Amino acid sequence: MRTTGRQLLLITILGWGVALLLFFPIFWMVLTSFKSEVAAIEVPPRLLFTPTLESYAEVQARADYLHFALNSVIVSVGGTVLALALGIPAAYAMAFHPTRRTRSTLLWMLSTKMLPSVGVLVPIYLLFRTFGLLDSRAGLVVIYALMNLPIVVWMLFTFFKEVPGEILEAGRMDGARTGAEFWHLLLPLTVPGIASTGLLSLILCWNEAFWSLNLTSSEAAPLTAFIASFSSPQGLFFAKLSAASTVAVAPILVFGWLSQRQLVRGLTFGAVK
């Protein structure tokens, strides 16, 4: 079926429309961060105003941004590396040495994502207290890895399934052991898949707020806790909250922008099979 010029135009307009709609909240957040608190609550809101950096100055004065940002980097990277370290062997075993129960195991893993986090808050909190993991980066790394493990295993499993088993078999015929088979054959073939899985896990860790707010207080608190501290039950805070959110999402936004090709491939993989 050929696409006519008019259809192409319509699709382009629709695509831009959806993109702008999705981008609008971020645009509005950045815009609000440059307004004064009184201007931020004006009804109807103004598009043209005298920009001010006072909210950024206030945010900087009230909290140590770098401390929170460093924690975000450590727990996101740590959580992702641990999830990959556990997920790669699991996905390998399931993709190339399936058993009768592999499918159900995969489904069961995914089903754990359907449980609302708050349902296990108290048991996890008690475990963390017992093992001295409250307000520690190590604790968050473990919880983030476990939280993303089902998605990581599922994505890697799909990528590994794409690799013809015959290639690995040929390697084995030539005397390659499991380690060599993985490093020299499977890894080079699936690097893009592993990279996009890692990227997605990284973004999910960066944006995670429930566990980071509940399990950390000051030492290990990441940027999500930094943002939460600017939301207020009293007084005007929209401009400050927008400024805090802007500086918190900026690193991951730039990172996502630079790696969008890998990310899109990861997210749409298998969709066009």
Residues in touch with other proteins (CB under 8 A):
37-38, 41-43, 62-63, 121-122, 125-126, 128-129, 134-135, 213-214, 217-218, 221, 225, 228-237
For residues 106 and 94, the answer to whether their CB atoms sit within 8 Å is: yes
User: For residues 154 and 230, which CB has a smaller minimum distance to other proteins in the complex?
Assistant: 230
CB of 51 to other proteins, least distance (A): 18
Burial call 145-157: b when 16+ CB within 10 Å, e when fewer? bbbbbbbbbbbbb
Neighbours of 69 (CB within 10 A): 17
Cis preceding linkage at 251, omega within 30: no
Nearer to other proteins, 121 or 176 (CB): 121
Q: What is the closest distance, in whole angstroms, from the C-beta atom of residue 235 to other proteins in the complex? A: 5
Smallest gap, in angstroms, from Cβ of residue 230 to other proteins?
Answer: 7
Q: Which is nearer to other proteins, 92 or 211 (by Cβ)? A: 211
At closest approach, how far in Å is the CB of 18 from other proteins? 25
Nearer to other proteins, 176 or 213 (CB): 213
User: Which CB, 1 or 122, lies closer to other proteins?
Assistant: 122
Torsion angles phi and psi, residue 135, rounded to 5: 55, 40
Question: Residue 232 and residue 100: Cα distance in Å, rounded?
Answer: 53
In the bound complex, what is the minimum distance in angstroms from residue 104's beta carbon to other proteins? 34
CB 144 within 8 A of CB 78: yes
262 near 191, Cβ under 8 Å? no
